[in-house]
Structure 1
Amino acid sequence: MEILEGNTSFYVNDAEGNRVAEVVFVPTGEHLTIIEHTDVDESLKGQGVGKQLVAKVVERMRRENRKIIPLCPFAKHEFDTTPEYADIRA
């Protein structure tokens, strides 16, 4: 499975090029980014795809020295249960 990067998203396409998983984030201000939405197709549920997508946002925002506001319920849960994300949470 290849995770692709867009301007404000990370996503996974199926063999036909259809988007089957994504996390969408929006930069706000100079040092903040909001994770708005995470969606994973039923065919990929339970495989850790959502976790991998959120981790990609975290990696990128660390490189860009930005903090994250996880508004999306899934991303919020990931931040609540992953102590390694405490340093980047706004």
Structure 2
Amino acid sequence: MDVFYRLPTEAEWEYACRAGTTTPFHYGETITTALANYDGIDEGEGRWSGSYGRGPKGIYRQQTTPVDTFPPNAFGLYDMHGNVWESCLYHWHDN
């Protein structure tokens, strides 16, 4: 029996990530380093702000975190925000 796996499309990934919500993040309007692993500190001279919107600045762990470090979304999926870049299937690219 053949088994076929593929990457999700960007639309499928967004739907899974937001778990049926309409906010930018599955837990609300902003992100914090208590809810996801990302660079939550300022990078000098205003190049990068560690906060998103009105969200607070946080920490920068400088490494990935184990699955289930942060709460799952309503679909039970962990780490949908932060940690590593997601990969999606794009039909207009050969690879």
Q: Same fold (TM over 0.5)?
A: no
- Greater Cα radius of gyration, structure 1 or 2: 2
TM-score of the two chains, using structure 2 as the length reference: 0.23
Between the two structures, name the one with larger relative contact order (CA 8 Å, sep ≥ 6).
2
If each structure's strand is expressed as a fraction of its own residues, which one has the higher value?
Answer: 1
